[in-house]
Amino acid sequence: MSGTADAGQRLASRRAWSGRLINVDIDRIRTPSGTELELEMIRHPGAAAVLPLLSEEGATDPMVLLIRQFRYAGGGTLWEIPAGVLEPGEEPAVCARRELREETGAEADRIEHLTTILTTPGFTDEAIHLFLATGIRAGTASPNPDELIETVTLPLSRALEMIRDGEIRDGKTIVALLYLAGFRLNF
């Protein structure tokens, strides 16, 4: 992941652990102020997530497609948008289309990049590329065997209430919904 000119300098790095999805490195760095530190860094290949918009953007209260997915680390079933990890060399938009199809069965005429977020920059380099999908056509989902997913169609106003009320807690989903409401629809 690229940073800014004041990102500091990595002096050394050693792999402490390798896993199927993430790796943990111990990096020795020099900060922009000259201080040397040793940091534990979770290395992640990045991900793409997609918010399916089922209505035309001019609709008074457009419909969105969300999923409810079991997440052990999250303590149960969470409201989310379809998302997945980037395959080696895979473009984020391709990943977004793949995950939309796998998790919901939907195909999109258009996929548009909204923004990219850093999930927890204090200890991981994970970035999630957020997309908006429009021109949605229904199909048959084919989730991975470890994915327990239910698809739900909601008005955007209801999804925003769910954010306010703490029902939607997933960060990427919150950002995508608020981005759509605030920057695209002036909702």
The reported pLDDT for the residue numbered 5 is 58
Report the distance separating Cα 187 and Cα 184, nearest Å. 8
- Can you read off the two tokens belonging to residue 70? 């079991």
Map residue 63 onto helix, strand or coil. strand
How many residues belong to the chain? 187
pLDDT at 136: 97
Four-residue CA torsion sign, 90, 65, 139, 20: positive
Closest residue by Cα to residue 63 from 75, 54, 50: 54
Cα distance between residue 47 and residue 86, in whole Å: 5
Residue 2's pLDDT is 47
Which residue positions in the chain have pLDDT lower than 50? 1-2
Over the stretch 3-17, which tens digit does the pLDDT of each residue have?
A: 555 778 999 999 999
The secondary structure element, H or E, covering residue 26 is strand 23-30
> Tokens representing 22?
């993430």
